[in-house]
């Protein structure tokens, strides 16, 4: 299945279509307004295309071990190759072109999610594209040729016709003062001249070489099993979704790619969810990347409020500030005509009781693996505040991990994660000999367990339920009960729950998270839930079934090994925001745990 390619520099990310058009790029950050928004609004919303003027076939692949994408366009007259990367440490897109036939460059940026056309000027060496409504601009330069045979149809049209050759095409974002703009313009012009000297050999291109080295050296993976390629691609996605400045992990690099085309299930995922980030950090830790896991933990601890609810919201901007609501981008028609497109996320105001447990679980896993007593001691006041809050507030109704809008209830998974916070909080207290805290939290954890067993297990249905006393509704989130050590995977009550989930929510290797919600029936399966199911079967010793589920996921990835949040079982198309951290972290955890189980066996 061909879909979009993903590139990143740890500050922002771009999506590139299968024939090499940049159709999505927020600048300068993941959560900034986009300058190319064709994926949501069509041509008029902005894009950056490079292509021959002849019909051609296309193939894409990543440069091995990187988030650098290569698109090869082949036609009867020759071949054109585009190597795309976002420069590490800069708000800059580089497009290296090697072509033995003439081609066309079309640059059509639109500031503010496709709303604002730029003011364009040119000095003959480059093009300046200013946002007339703000202090930001794009600088565009083509390096690597002497100008012979170059035809510019119109200096303001954004269309260039170029002869075959080697080119370094630079697009740099500048968002500050006129002085910075002038200085940056001079720097980009110098880089274009440098490119002319280096472009003769791609391997000799310094900027390209440094970016390749960055990704390859940042890839820390101890996994050596048969799914190494898929695991490493998933880890590179997670690294690409990490904001380098703070260590924040975002859920996905896009907004408003629909769960159901033509519907209203469109959300903005370009923020650091505590839950999604904790899951991602656990996967990075399991693969051997302790540094990335620790950076996320410390980012989240910097967000803790000691005066009230420790985490004031379920998610934050990548700099740790709060998201202020949600607005509709009414001028965009949406991907596959799915409206409205949205910026921001109204779930920021929800109470979600699982997030403290999600976070404390990965803290516990990190400390158990590293034995880092010094960090535990320095973090203790903040960790204690988190567990103390759960101790007092676990009985409240919440929106659940699925972020149901207007449907707060006593969700069983939320109570499970309160148990996780209290139980593993007590384990952390033991590590520091904080015996009073440990004793008190364990006692409270037992009260949570009692509530789950009395109200979260339906005696008539014979299984755990989505919410307390709800008549037996199922929820794939219940698969996590043994994954957090609440019970054994072979426990009688859990086994009956697993059987019910596999009967009602599982179709082949796909798992629906539930039957329906406030917006109607669940249209497509949830990719992460398949990983949860595989991990449950690993714990039960049913490795053949686990491997079958994992292989099903890998076969459902795009040709570039990427996964969305959901999948259309009929067409194979990814649905929801893309690529999705949930889906890729699930691949990592399932593969690592499967290999460990095989080795033990």
- As a whole number of angstroms, the distance between CA 255 and CA 345 comes to 10
pLDDT score of 431 more than 80: yes
Q: Which residues contact 558 (CB under 8 A, 6 or more apart)?
A: 1, 2, 3, 574
Mean pLDDT of 94-120: 95
Closest to 293 (Cα-Cα) out of 235, 383, 362: 362
Closest CA to 250 of 59, 30, 466: 30
- How long, in residues, is the chain? 601
pLDDT band at 220 (very low <50, low <70, confident <90, very high): confident
Q: How much is the pLDDT for 521?
A: 72
**565-571, long-range: CB < 8 A, 24+ apart:** 565/252, 565/259, 565/526, 565/527, 565/528, 566/259, 566/523, 566/524, 566/525, 566/526, 566/527, 567/510, 567/524, 567/525, 567/527, 568/524, 569/507, 569/508, 569/510, 569/524, 569/525
* Residue 77 vs residue 188, higher pLDDT: 77
Q: Is the separation of the CB atoms in 352 and 405 below 8 Å?
A: no
Average pLDDT over residues 444-459: 98
Q: How far apart are CA 69 and CA 60, in angstroms?
A: 7
Confidence of residue 516 (pLDDT cuts 50, 70, 90): confident
What does the pLDDT read at residue 93? Answer: 98
pLDDT in tens, 239-292: 999 999 999 999 999 999 999 999 999 999 999 999 999 999 999 999 999 999
User: Once rounded to an integer, what is the mean pLDDT over residues 203-227?
Assistant: 90
Please state, for a pLDDT cut of 90, what percent of the chain lies above it: 85
| Contact call for residues 530 and 549 (beta carbons, < 8 A) | yes
Stretch (H or E) spanning 215: helix 206-218
Is the pLDDT assigned to residue 519 strictly greater than 70?
A: no
Question: pLDDT-based confidence at 122, cuts 50/70/90?
Answer: confident
What is the per-residue pLDDT across 492-508, written as a single tens digit (0 to 9) for each?
999 999 999 999 999 99
Q: Cis (ω within 30 of 0) for the bond into 66?
A: no
Q: How far apart are the C-alpha atoms of 63 and 150, rounded to whole Å? A: 29
As a whole number of angstroms, the distance between CA 536 and CA 114 comes to: 45
pLDDT at residue 186, rounded to an integer: 63
Structure token pair of residue 457: 């297990």
Give residue for tokens 């339906």. 458
pLDDT score at 201:
46
pLDDT category of residue 523 using cuts at 50, 70 and 90: confident
pLDDT band at 202 (very low <50, low <70, confident <90, very high): very low
pLDDT band at 126 (very low <50, low <70, confident <90, very high): confident
Burial 35-58, CB ≥16 within 10 A → b, else e: bbbbbbbeeebbbbbbbbeeebee
What band does 200 get if pLDDT is binned at 50, 70 and 90?
very low
Spell out the residues 6+ positions from residue 171 whose beta carbon is closer than 8 angstroms to its own.
48, 92, 93, 94, 95, 107, 138, 139, 140
**Joined tokens for residue 161:** 């016709």
Reply yes or no on whether the pLDDT at 363 is more than 60.
yes
pLDDT, position 504: 96
Separation of alpha carbons 257 and 356, rounded Å: 28
Residue of higher predicted confidence among 450 and 134: 450
In this predicted model, which residue has the larger pLDDT, 157 or 244? 244
pLDDT at site 512: 96
Q: Where are the domains of the chain?
A: 5-218, 352-490
Q: Which residues pair with 15 in a beta bridge?
A: 6, 24
What is the C-alpha to C-alpha distance for residues 366 and 368, in angstroms, rounded to an integer?
Answer: 6
Of 551 and 157, more confident: 551
**pLDDT score at 123:** 73
Distances (CA, A) of 88 to 1, 219, 318, 417: 29, 15, 17, 37
Q: Which helix (H) or strand (E) holds 124?
A: none
Between the alpha carbon of residue 134 and those of residues 112, 174, 183, 328, the distances in Å are: 10, 11, 19, 21
What average pLDDT does the structure give for the chain? Answer: 93
Q: What is the pLDDT of residues 221-232, one digit of tens each?
A: 999 999 999 999
Residue 181 predicted with pLDDT over 70: no
The average pLDDT across 54-63 equals 95
What are the tens digits of pLDDT across the range 464-501? 999 999 989 999 999 999 999 999 999 999 999 999 99
C-alpha distances out from residue 589 to 225, 279, 332, 585, Å: 12, 9, 37, 6
Whether the predicted pLDDT of 366 surpasses 70 = yes
Kindly tell me the burial class for residue 154, based on how many C-beta atoms sit within 10 Å of its own C-beta (0-12, 13-18, 19 or more). exposed
In this predicted model, what pLDDT tens digit does every residue of 1-28 receive, in sequence order? Answer: 999 999 999 999 999 999 999 999 999 9
The DSSP secondary structure of 326-351, one letter per residue, reads EEE-TT---TTS----EEE-GGGG--
pLDDT of res. 196:
54
Residue 151 pLDDT > 70, yes or no? no
Average pLDDT of the segment spanning 212-229: 95
At the topology level, CATH places domain 352-490 in: Glycosyltransferase (1.50.10)
- Domain 5-218 CATH assignment equals 3.40.50.410: no
Question: What pLDDT shows up at residue 175?
Answer: 83
pLDDT tier for residue 343 given thresholds of 50, 70 and 90: very high
* CB within 8 Å of 283: residues ≥ 6 apart: 234, 235, 238, 584, 585, 586, 588, 589, 592
Which segments of 338-392 are extended strands (E)?
342-344
Give exposure, 242-264, as e/b (b: 16+ Cβ within 10 Å).
bbbebbbbbbbbbbbbbbbbeee
Note whether 473 and 514 are within 8 A (CB).
yes
Can you say how many angstroms the Cα of residue 380 is from the centroid of all Cα atoms in its chain?
29
């Amino acid at each position: 299945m061909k879909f979009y390619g993903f590139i990143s520099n740890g500050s922002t990310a771009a999506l590139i279509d299968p024939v090499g058009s940049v159709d999505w790029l927020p600048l300068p950050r993941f959560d900034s307004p986009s300058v190319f928004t064709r994926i949501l609004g069509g041509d008029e919303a902005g894009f950056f295309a490079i292509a021959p003027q002849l019909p051609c076939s296309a193939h894409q692949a990543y440069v091995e071990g990187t988030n650098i994408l290569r698109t090869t366009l082949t036609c009867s007259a020759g071949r054109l190759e585009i190597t795309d990367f976002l420069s590490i440490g800069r708000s800059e897109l580089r497009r290296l072109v090697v072509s033995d036939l003439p081609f066309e460059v079309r640059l059509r940026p639109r500031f503010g999610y496709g709303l604002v056309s730029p003011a364009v000027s040119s000095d003959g060496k480059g093009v300046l594209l200013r946002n007339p409504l703000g202090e930001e601009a794009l600088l565009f330069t083509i390096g690597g040729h002497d100008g012979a045979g170059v035809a510019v149809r119109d200096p303001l049209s954004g269309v260039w016709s170029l002869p075959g050759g080697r080119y370094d095409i630079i697009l740099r974002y500048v968002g500050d003062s006129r002085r910075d703009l002038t200085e940056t313009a001079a720097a980009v012009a110098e880089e274009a001249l440098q490119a002319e000297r280096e472009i003769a050999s791609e391997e000799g291109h310094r900027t390209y070489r440094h970016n390749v080295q960055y990704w390859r050296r940042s890839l820390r993976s101890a996994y050596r099993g048969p799914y190494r390629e898929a695991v490493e691609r998933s880890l590179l996605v997670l690294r690409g979704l990490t904001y380098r400045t703070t260590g924040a992990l975002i859920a996905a690099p896009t907004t408003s790619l629909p769960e159901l085309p033509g519907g209203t299930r469109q959300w903005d995922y370009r923020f650091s969810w505590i839950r999604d980030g904790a899951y991602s950090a656990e996967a990075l830790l399991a693969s051997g990347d302790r540094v990335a896991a620790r950076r996320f933990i410390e980012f989240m601890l910097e967000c803790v409020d000691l005066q009230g609810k420790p985490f004031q919201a379920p998610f934050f901007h990548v700099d740790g500030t709060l998201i202020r609501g949600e607005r509709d981008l009414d001028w965009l028609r949406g991907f596959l005509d799915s409206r409205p497109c949205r910026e921001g996320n109204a779930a920021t105001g929800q109470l979600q009781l699982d997030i403290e447990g999600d976070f404390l679980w990965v803290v516990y896993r990190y400390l158990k693996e590293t034995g880092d007593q010094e960090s535990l001691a320095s973090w203790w006041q903040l960790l204690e505040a988190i567990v103390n809050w759960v101790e007092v507030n676990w009985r409240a109704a919440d929106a659940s991990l699925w972020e149901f809008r207007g449907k707060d209830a006593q969700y069983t998974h939320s109570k499970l994660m309160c148990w996780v916070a209290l139980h593993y909080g007590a384990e952390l207290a033991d590590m520091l000999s904080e015996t009073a805290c440990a004793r008190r939290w364990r006692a409270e954890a037992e009260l949570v367990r009692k509530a789950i067993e009395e109200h979260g297990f339906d005696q008539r249905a014979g299984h755990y339920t989505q919410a307390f006393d709800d008549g037996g509704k199922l929820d794939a989130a219940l698969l996590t009960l043994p994954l957090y050590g609440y019970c054994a995977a072979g426990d009688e009550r859990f086994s009956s729950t697993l059987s019910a989930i596999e009967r009602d929510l599982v179709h082949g290797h796909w798992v629906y998270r539930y039957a329906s919600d406030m917006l109607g029936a669940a249209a497509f399966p949830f990719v992460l839930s398949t990983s949860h199911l595989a991990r449950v079967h690993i714990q039960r010793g049913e490795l053949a079934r686990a491997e079958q589920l994992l292989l099903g996921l890998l076969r459902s990835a795009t040709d570039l090994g990427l996964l969305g949040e959901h999948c259309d079982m009929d067409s194979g198309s990814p649905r929801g925001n893309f690529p999705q951290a949930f889906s890729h972290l699930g691949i990592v955890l399932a593969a690592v745990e499967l290999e460990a189980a095989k080795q033990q066996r």
